[in-house]
Structure 1
Amino acid sequence: MDIRDLREVPQYFDEVADRIWRAWWELDGRRLAEVEAALRDVIAEPGFPFSLVAMRGGQFAGTITSISSDISARPALGPCLAALWVEPESRGQGVAGLLSAMAQQRLIDHGFERVYLTAKPSMRGYYQPGGWTRIESDIDADHLDVYVRTLR
């Protein structure tokens, strides 16, 4: 498994944007072009924010993005991990854990001490055993949980 910054592998930009759009933005009636613009903003400058790409044998396997804030009801909470996506054929193989771990290490390298994320309640069995602490529930119209994790 090779995990790289999207800035280093721009040939995966379209796949990353497509997966983010299909998984989260399309359902809200947003256009793919909006995701592409937001993703361009993420990778416009080196450092933070960032988007990572997992590849196996040159094939796209997944992605994760870290941005200042991803919790509209709690904009002061950040940085956040967002848009964790693993291709169906790569699920159950540790790709999500590797992407998350690498993103967290990059946040540590940037001097952050904690990180947040939101997830559907159905994901509690994944995040809570993985060291995330649920600090709030039933956020936004999607009734999401808010998690925090100490990085240091």
Structure 2
Amino acid sequence: MEIVPLADKKEFIAELAELHHAEWKHLNPSLTLEGRAQAIADAAGRERIPSIFIAMLGSQLIGSAALVQNDMDTKPDLSPWLAAVYVKESFRHQGIATALIRRCEEEAVRSNANAWYLYTESASKLYEKLGWRCMERCEYKGAMVDVMCKPLAS
């Protein structure tokens, strides 16, 4: 497995948009697949914020994670955010999400942030194992989510 910036593999933007759309369209039903693909393309930096990293197995896209300025419009004071952590179902539970998260964390540290944030509907246990703590549970865009935080070592 290899983790690379999406900026170096832009041919996967459409596939990634489809995967993300299928997974999270319920959180933003007005966002079209085309709009999601454009947002992914716009955030596909190689380093710092925003950046998207993808996990590849040979020539196959198997996962993604992003570092973004803000991922929750109700919390504009918190930044940066881990977002779009996704691993194809047949590749889950193999450490791929953890590797993607660590790659994003490297960029968050380079951005000189003291902490970073995420929200999740169902993966709190994974994040807790990686040192994140739940700040609050709240409703966001019709879903119950945990808002989590992790200090960053500079």
The normalised TM-score by structure 1 is: 0.91
Contact 1:50 1:66 in 2 (8 A): yes
> Structure 1's 81 and 44: CA in aligned 2 closer, same or farther, altered over 3 A?
closer
> Structure 1's 26 and 135: CA in aligned 2 closer, same or farther, altered over 3 A?
closer
* Other-structure match for 1:20: 20
The question of 1:150 aligning with 2:151 is answered yes
Contact 1:139 1:146 in 2 (8 A): no
> Structure 1's 44 and 97: CA in aligned 2 closer, same or farther, altered over 3 A?
closer
Deviation at 1:17, TM superposition (A): 1.2
Amino-acid identity (%): 26
Contact 1:68 1:80 in 2 (8 A): yes
Amino acid at match of 1:124: S
Q: Helix, strand or coil for the counterpart of 2:137?
A: strand
Larger relative contact order (C-alpha < 8 A, sep ≥ 6)? 2
> Structure 1's 27 and 81: CA in aligned 2 closer, same or farther, altered over 3 A?
closer
Deviation at 1:129, TM superposition (A): 2.4
Deviation at 1:25, TM superposition (A): 2.1
Amino acid at match of 1:138: C
> Unmatched 5+ residue regions in structure 1?
none
Deviation at 1:26, TM superposition (A): 5.4
Distance in 1, Cα, partners of 2:74 & 2:137: 11
Superimposed CA distance per residue, residues 33-59 of structure 1 (whole angstroms, 9 cap, x where no aligned partner): 110121122126864201101001221
Distance in 1, Cα, partners of 2:76 & 2:139: 12
> Structure 1's 37 and 82: CA in aligned 2 closer, same or farther, altered over 3 A?
same
> Unmatched 5+ residue regions in structure 2?
none
Contact 2:137 2:147 in 1 (8 A): yes
Let me know the Cα RMSD of the aligned residues. Answer: 1.7
Q: Helix, strand or coil for the counterpart of 1:128?
A: helix
**Residues 66-145 of structure 1 mapped to structure 2, 5 A cutoff:** 66-120=67-121, 122-140=122-140, 141-145=142-146
Deviation at 1:81, TM superposition (A): 0.7
Superimposed CA distance per residue, residues 73-103 of structure 1 (whole angstroms, 9 cap, x where no aligned partner): 2121111011110011111110000000010
**Residues 36-51 of structure 1 mapped to structure 2, 5 A cutoff:** 36-43=37-44, 47-51=48-52
> Structure 1's 107 and 133: CA in aligned 2 closer, same or farther, altered over 3 A?
same
